[in-house]
């Protein structure tokens, strides 16, 4: 099993475009490594570690909704001023 995924591989795996994965990397939402021969100069060649993918997916997993607070009943005898 591969320890790293390229942005197009990961994009295909989750059903989005590779540009979206690169945008997540550039916005620091998804960790990646630049394996190009001259990092910082020219076009980056990103590789995403599997642990970064797991961490990213855990952050993006929706949480179950919390129980809404009940509104208290208003006393018809009380007049509220704002």
H or E segment and range at residue 49 = strand 46-49
Nearest to 21 by CA among 44, 46, 40: 46
The reply to whether 81 falls in a domain is: no
Q: How many domains does the chain have?
A: 1
Q: What is the mean pLDDT of residues 45-50?
A: 96
Q: How far is CA 41 from CA 21, 34, 36, in A?
A: 20, 11, 9
Determine the Cα–Cα distance for residues 30 and 65; give it in Å rounded to an integer. 25
The reply to whether 26 falls in a domain is: yes
The reply to whether 76 falls in a domain is: no
Report DSSP state, residue 3: S
The reply to whether 25 falls in a domain is: yes
The reply to whether 78 falls in a domain is: no
- Domain coverage including residue 45: 4-60
Q: Note whether 47 and 32 are within 8 A (CB).
A: yes
Band of pLDDT at residue 34, cut at 50, 70 and 90: very high
The reply to whether 55 falls in a domain is: yes
Report DSSP state, residue 70: P
Q: Whole-model pTM?
A: 0.73
């Amino acid at each position: 099993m591969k320890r790293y995924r390229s942005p197009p591989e990961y994009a295909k795996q989750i059903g989005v475009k590779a540009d979206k994965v690169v945008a997540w990397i550039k916005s620091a939402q998804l960790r990646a490594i630049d394996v190009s021969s001259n990092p910082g100069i020219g076009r980056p060649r990103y590789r995403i570690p599997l642990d970064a993918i797991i961490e990213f997916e855990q952050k993006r997993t929706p949480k179950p909704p919390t129980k809404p607070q009940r509104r208290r009943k208003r006393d018809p005898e009380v007049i509220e001023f704002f």
